Structure 1
Amino acid sequence: MPGRGGHPAHDRRARREPGGDGSRKRHGRHYTPPALAEFLAERTLAHVRPGAELSILDPACGDGELLLAVARVAAQRFPRTSLRLAGYDLDADAVRVARQRSAGSDGCRAAGGDEQAIGDLGAVHSGPGRRIAFEWRHGDFLRAADDLSAPAFDAVITNPPYVRTQQLGGETARMLSRRFGLSGRIDLTHPFVVTVPRLLRPGGVLGLLCANRFLSTKAGANLRSLLHAELPPVELYDLGDTRLFDAAVLPAVTIAVRAGAPHSCRFVTTYETGLEPTTAADLFEALMGRDASVVGHAGRRIAVEIGTLRTGGDPMAKPVRRSDARSRASEFTGTFDPAVPWQLSRPDTDAWLRRIGAATWRTFGQVAPIRVGIKTTADRVFISDRWAELAAPPEADLLRMLLTHNDIEPWRIDRAHDTRVLYPYDLSQDCRVPVDLDEFPCARAYLEQHRQMLSARDYLVGSGREWFEIWVPQRPRLWCLPKVVFPDISVTPRFALDRSGAVVNGDCYWISMADIGAERIAYLLMGVANSALGPNFYDAVCGNRLYAGRRRWITQYVTRLPVPDPDTVAARSLIELARALAEGEIEPDPGRLDECVAAAFGLRNGSAGLRPGGPP
C-alpha cells in the first residue's frame, strides 16, 4: 500500500462543523483518514467468510469513508460477492455527504457497473455477478439498534464517537452505564461496541477504530472485558505515535471475531524513536511485516514492534506449559484480568520480565501508597505566584509552597517560581479539617470576592463541604514530612526527594516518607525509577504512552515498578549512590546508575541488561 501513510489527514468534519476543535471534542467527531480507512477495511475483510452477499454496518458512518473503503477493497478481494452496506449517523449533513459520495463518480468507479437510485437512502451499483447497495440513515444508532433484527450483519466496521465522561455529563454517563451494563468511567465508544455482538452473525467480524486508551486505562476495563468475552481480537494495532489524525487522537485498530475460539492475537505498536530507519517500507506496509522495524513517517521515525497480545496475568511470572488448545492460547494471552492493561508480548521481552520478576522484593505499590497531588477545581482562585502583588494577600500561614511538574528534575527540586496555594486546612490533622476563616480575615476577604464562583461547585457543596474548600486536599499532616515526588507526564522519569514541606499539585504524584518507613527505601525507589529500567519496564508492562515518547507516571502504573531486595550488597550500593544524587553530593551519572540497578536485580552485562532483549 505505497504512499498511504505519509502525512496526517485533514479532518473533513472540522471544516463543516461550527465551533471547530471545541465542538469536535464535545461530540467526539474525528473523521477517518482515507489511508487508515482502507487499512481498516482490508484487515476487517481479511477475516470475513464471504457468501453470495455480505452485509456490513457502520453505526457511526460520518461522511461514509469506511463503507466506501469497504466497497473498494471488496471489489478486489471478493469480485463476485454482492454487498449491502448500511450506515447510521446523527449528523444530517454528514449523511447527506455520504449519500452524495456513494452515488457520485467516485463510488461508481470503485464498485463498477451501472447506478440505480434507491429512494433517498443511497445507491445501487450493479456489475457482472454482483450488486452493491448503500443505505444511509440519519438517526441515533444506539436507539435504532434495538429495532434491528439480530444477527443481521457479517461485519461491523466503525470509528465511533469518542466523548469522555466529562464531556458527556454525569447524568448522560449514568444513563448509558445503566442501559448498557457498564461500570466506572465510560466514553461514548463503549455503548457502541456493546451493541455489536447481538448484531453480528456467528463468526462475524468487528473492525474497530477507537482511541488507544482502552488498552491501558482503568476506564478501558469495560471494553477489554467485552472484547475478551464476546469478541476475541485476532489483530490489534496501537497506532499511538503515528499522528494519522490532525486532532490529538491516539488511535488503535482492533479486528475481532464474534465468539471466536481462543487464539493468539497479533499485536503491533507504533511509537516515535531516535533510531534510524531500517526499511524503505511505508507505515502501513510495516504494520503488516513479519519483523519489527523502524520506518520514516511524516518526517519522523516510528518504531514498529510486533508480537502477540497479553490480556492479563503476571508478566514476570514463570509460564506454565499445557497441551490443550485453550491453554496454548493462554501462553500468548495470559489469564484474563480486566484491571490489567493489555500488553505486547514478545519472547525477548517476556524473558526479560521474568528475570526482573525473579529478583523483585516488592513493587512500589507494595512499599507505600502512591497519591496524586491536590486538585482545587478553581486554580485561578487558589494558586498563584503573584500573591505579594495583592493589596491584602491571604495570611502567610495559609499560603503554602506548591510543587508543580515544572519544579521537578530527576533527584532534586528546582523551583522556577514561588508558586503558592491558598490551602485552608489545619496542617496538624490527618484528614481534612478546614480552618476557621474568622481567624484569617485577609483570607476570608479574598475568598469572599470569589464566593459566587466557589459556591457554584455543586459537587463540592452538595457533599457537605465548606464553600471555600478545595476538591482534593489530600492528607494535610503529611505535607511537612519528606516525600518522593514526580510529575504525572514526562518522557523520562523524574523522581525527586522533597524536604521543603511543600504541597504537591495535581499534575504530580507523591509517596510520603511516613508510608515508606525508612529513608533508605525512598532512595532505592528513586534509584530504580530514575534508571533506564524505569521507562523500559513501563513500556513493557504499562504501555500508556503519549505523543513523542511521553509517559503517564500515575498510580496505576508506578505501583507496578519493581524493587530489588534492599539488604543485598548490590542494593546497598545502589541506595548509597541514590542518596548522594538526591542530596546533591555528586552530579548525575546515568551509566553508573544503570550499572548499580542492573547489579541489584542480578542482571549480568551491566546496563545492557536493563532493556528487553539485553543479555541475561
Structure 2
Amino acid sequence: MSSSTDLAILPANTRRYGDVDQQKSAGVIYTPADFAAFVADQMVSLAELPAQGEIRVLDPAVGDGALLEALLMRMPADILNRIRVVGYDTDPGAVARASVRLRKVFPDVSLLIEEKDFLDHVLSLSGDANLSSSAAQAPMPFDLVIANPPYVRTQIMGGEQAQQLAQRFGLTGRVDLYYPFLLGISQVLTEGGVAGVITSNRFMTTKSGQAVRRALLSQFKIDHVWDFGDTKLFDAAVLPAVLLARGIKAPSDQSVGEIAFSTIYECKENALIQASDVFEALAMSDNTIVSTPDGRNFSVRHGLLENGDHAEGVWRISTETGDQWLATVSENTWNTFRRIGKIRVGVKSTADKVFVRSDWSDLPGGRPELLRPLITRHCARQFKARVPSQAKHMKEIMYPHEATSGGGRKAVDLSLYPLAARYLKGHRDVLEARSYLIKAGRAWYELWVPQDPAAWSSPKIVFPDISEKPTFWMDTEGGIVNGECYWIQCEREDENDLLWLALAVANSTFIESFYDHRFNNKLYAGRRRFITQYVEQFPLPDPARKETQAIIALAKAIHAELPSSAADQMISELNALVWQVFGLNVEEDPA
C-alpha cells in the first residue's frame, strides 16, 4: 500500500513498518504479495476488458508497486502492449521504487508513475462539485483500478485539510482518509470497469462510515465484499476488507441483496479442515472452521450483505441459518436497551493528570474537597465491580460540578472549597491551556465532559468499550464513570428492574452470539466493541413473563453474592434461562 497523503501536512515517512506513531500519522502499510494476488485474481475474474484500443489501469496509492505487479502478472500476454498504467503517490521514494520494479518486469507496458496526490487529481476533475454529485465526471476513466489507500484519520492531518476533505467529499464526524479515496475512485472508473480496493473494515460498522456506506451503494455496483477481520495480514493493527465493484454511469440505488459477503475471523472452535493460508481458508464452504499452519483456527462465512434496508445501515453478513436465528430472537423480543435510557460515555477531563489521581491523601496540603470515586476499566467484572488489585488503579476524580435546581449543571463555586481551589489554582496554567473549553464559555477548572451531576447517585450499568467477553456491572454506590467506559441508567422510575434484566442479558453467552450475528465486528484476539450503536440494540424479553421475572431475581442475587461459588452457580443457571427466554438453546447456535 502507498501513502497518498499530503506530505506538506503529514510527517515525512521513510518506512511503512516504522514505529506505531509514524504509521498512525501517515497511514502507510504496504500490501503483502499474497494479499495483492488475491485482489488481482478477483478483479481479473470479473473484468470484461475492451477488445480493442487502450486498456487503462490505475493505482491511486501506488506504494512499492505490489498491487500493480500482481494485476499485470495476471493479464493475458497478448494485451500487455495495449495496457497503459498510471500510478500516483506523494512519496517520491515510492514513486522511484515502483517505477523501477514495474519497468523491469513489464518492459512492454506503458507506465506513468508520478508524484501526485490522487485526491487533488479527483478534485481538479470536479472543481468545487461535491463528488457525490453526478455532475462530477472524469474525462479519462480507467478500466481497472486497484488500490490500498492510506488509513490515516483526518484529525491527524492539518485542520484545514481535514475541513476541505469533509466539505468536498460530503463527509462528517470522525473519518479516515480512505473514505474520500473510495469516493474518488468511483469518479475515475469507467462504466463497467472493475475496482479492487483494500480498506479497513471500520467503515462497515461505525457511525463515521454512514455517509461512505450510502455513497458506495450509490456510486458503485458492488459485486463482493470480503471482511478479513483479525487475520493479521498486515503487521500494523489494521483489520482489512476488500471491495470488488464495477463502475456505473450515474449514481443509483442498488439492492444490497445482490452483493456477496464473505467473512473470516479467528475462533476457538475445533477445525474441521486445514488450509495452507488465510486465502485458501476463505475459499472453503460456508460455516466451516479451518486451521492454518500457524496454529490458528478461523470461522469462514459466506452469504449476502445486509444493512437493514437502510442506505446508511451497518453492513453485516446475512446467511439463511443466521437470519433464522435472529428471527427467533426477534419473535421473543419485547424491546431493546434503548427503552431503558440513553447510553452515555463516561466523563472526560482532557487533563487527567490534574483531575484523576490515586494519591490524593498524600498531597502536602491535605486531601482536598470535591473528590468522588472513579469507576475505570480496572473495576471491570460481570455483574459487580471488583476492587482493583493495584493501589495505583484505585482512582478518585476531583469533580467540580453540581446540579442546578432546574435540572441542569454548573461549575461549583471554588470559594466554598478552599483546599480544592488551592490545588486547582496550582495547575491553572495547564487547565487554561485547554483553549477549546474557554472558547466554549466554560470555567477554566471544569471537566470537558462532566455528564449529569445529579445522575451519578442512581443505580447504573457500567461497561468497558472494548472486551473479549461482555463485561457489564451494576454500580449502586454513586461512582463517577471514566471516559473509557459507557454507562446507562433507567429513565423511568417505575422500571428500574429493566436495569437488572439488561444486566443479565448483557452478561450472557447469548449476547455474544447475538452480537456476532447482528454486528459481526471483532477486533484482534476476538475482542468486541461494546459501543452505543450496538448496545442500544441489545434485545430485552417481556418483563411480564414468569421466566423474565426469574432472570431479574437471579441477577439481583448474583450481584449480592459476588464473589462466591454460589454466585458462580447462579450465573450458570441464569445463562441458560436467558437463552430459553429468547426461544433458543445454546446448542442451536449456528455461529
Assess same fold via TM > 0.5. Answer: yes
Deviations 1:483-508 (A, max 9, x none): 11111111111111111110001111
User: 2:349 and 2:70 mapped to 1: Cα distance?
Assistant: 47
Deviations 1:87-143 (A, max 9, x none): 101111111111121133xxx2xx4xxxxxxxxxxxxx23xxxxx222101022211
Unaligned runs of 5+ in 1: 1-12, 112-124, 127-131, 314-334
Deviations 1:482-534 (A, max 9, x none): 11111111111111111111000111111114557433211111111111111
SS at match of 1:480: coil
Identity score, percent: 38
Q: In the alignment, what sits opposite 2:8?
A: none
Is 1:201 aligned to 2:214, yes or no?
no
SS at match of 1:501: coil
Is 1:87 aligned to 2:87, yes or no?
yes
User: 2:506 and 2:464 mapped to 1: Cα distance?
Assistant: 12
Judging changes above 3 Å, is the alpha-carbon distance between structure 1 residues 504 and 146 closer, same or farther for their aligned structure 2 residues? closer
SS at match of 1:352: helix
Q: CA deviation at 1:389?
A: 1.9
Is 1:562 aligned to 2:539, yes or no?
yes
Unaligned runs of 5+ in 2: 1-11, 126-137
Aligned runs of 1:217-232 on 2, under 5 Å? 217-232=206-221
2:372 alignment partner AA: R
Q: In the alignment, what sits opposite 2:72?
A: 71
- Of 458-467 and 148-157, deviating more is 148-157
Judging changes above 3 Å, is the alpha-carbon distance between structure 1 residues 15 and 270 closer, same or farther for their aligned structure 2 residues? farther
User: 1:568 and 1:526 mapped to 2: Cα distance?
Assistant: 17
Equivalent of 1:595, from 559, 576, 580? Answer: 576
SS at match of 1:395: coil
Q: CA deviation at 1:178?
A: 1.1
Q: In the alignment, what sits opposite 1:46?
A: 45
1:336 alignment partner AA: H
Equivalent of 1:275, from 269, 273, 280? Answer: 269
Is 1:310 aligned to 2:283, yes or no?
no
Report if aligned partners of 1:156, 1:200 keep a CA contact under 8 Å in 2: yes
Report if aligned partners of 1:88, 1:137 keep a CA contact under 8 Å in 2: yes
Q: In the alignment, what sits opposite 2:133?
A: none
Using structure 1 for the length normalisation, give the TM-score: 0.85
User: 2:408 and 2:304 mapped to 1: Cα distance?
Assistant: 43
2:38 alignment partner AA: F
User: 2:477 and 2:509 mapped to 1: Cα distance?
Assistant: 28
Report if aligned partners of 2:438, 2:444 keep a CA contact under 8 Å in 1: yes
Q: How many residues align?
A: 551
- Of 419-428 and 93-102, deviating more is 419-428
Aligned runs of 1:423-572 on 2, under 5 Å? 423-427=399-403, 430-515=407-492, 517-572=494-549
Q: CA deviation at 1:427?
A: 4.9
Q: In the alignment, what sits opposite 1:575?
A: 552
Report if aligned partners of 1:272, 1:303 keep a CA contact under 8 Å in 2: yes
2:199 alignment partner AA: C
Report if aligned partners of 2:16, 2:30 keep a CA contact under 8 Å in 1: no
Aligned runs of 1:119-158 on 2, under 5 Å? 125-126=107-108, 132-147=109-124, 149-158=138-147
Structure 1 vs Structure 2 CA RMSD: 2.2
Aligned runs of 1:104-253 on 2, under 5 Å? 104=104, 108=105, 111=106, 125-126=107-108, 132-147=109-124, 149-253=138-242
User: 2:221 and 2:367 mapped to 1: Cα distance?
Assistant: 58
Q: In the alignment, what sits opposite 1:421?
A: 397
Q: In the alignment, what sits opposite 1:402?
A: 374
Report if aligned partners of 2:16, 2:29 keep a CA contact under 8 Å in 1: no
Q: In the alignment, what sits opposite 1:607?
A: 586
Report if aligned partners of 1:214, 1:223 keep a CA contact under 8 Å in 2: yes
SS at match of 1:168: coil
Report if aligned partners of 1:432, 1:473 keep a CA contact under 8 Å in 2: no
User: 1:370 and 1:515 mapped to 2: Cα distance?
Assistant: 14
- Of 591-600 and 247-256, deviating more is 591-600
Aligned runs of 1:354-365 on 2, under 5 Å? 354-365=327-338
Deviations 1:40-78 (A, max 9, x none): 1111222111224431111111121111111112247x7
Q: CA deviation at 1:300?
A: 4.3
User: 1:22 and 1:226 mapped to 2: Cα distance?
Assistant: 30
Report if aligned partners of 2:26, 2:150 keep a CA contact under 8 Å in 1: yes
Q: In the alignment, what sits opposite 1:293?
A: 288
Q: CA deviation at 1:15?
A: 6.1
Q: CA deviation at 1:80?
A: 6.4
Report if aligned partners of 2:355, 2:398 keep a CA contact under 8 Å in 1: yes
Is 1:28 aligned to 2:7, yes or no?
no
User: 1:147 and 1:497 mapped to 2: Cα distance?
Assistant: 55
User: 2:123 and 2:14 mapped to 1: Cα distance?
Assistant: 33
Judging changes above 3 Å, is the alpha-carbon distance between structure 1 residues 570 and 17 closer, same or farther for their aligned structure 2 residues? closer
Deviations 1:210-249 (A, max 9, x none): 1110010001112211111111321111112111111111
- Of 43-52 and 507-516, deviating more is 507-516
SS at match of 1:587: helix
Using structure 2 for the length normalisation, give the TM-score: 0.88
Q: CA deviation at 1:253?
A: 0.8
Q: CA deviation at 1:348?
A: 0.6
- Of 278-287 and 15-24, deviating more is 15-24
2:66 alignment partner AA: E
Equivalent of 2:354, from 381, 384, 394? Answer: 381
Q: CA deviation at 1:393?
A: 4.5
Q: CA deviation at 1:79?
A: 6.2
2:398 alignment partner AA: L
Q: In the alignment, what sits opposite 1:343?
A: 316
Judging changes above 3 Å, is the alpha-carbon distance between structure 1 residues 516 and 208 closer, same or farther for their aligned structure 2 residues? farther
Deviations 1:313-355 (A, max 9, x none): 2xxxxxxxxxxxxxxxxxxxxx2330x2101101011001011
Q: In the alignment, what sits opposite 1:6?
A: none
User: 2:536 and 2:123 mapped to 1: Cα distance?
Assistant: 42
1:337 alignment partner AA: A
Deviations 1:379-418 (A, max 9, x none): 111111111221125523x111001111020011112143
SS at match of 1:375: coil
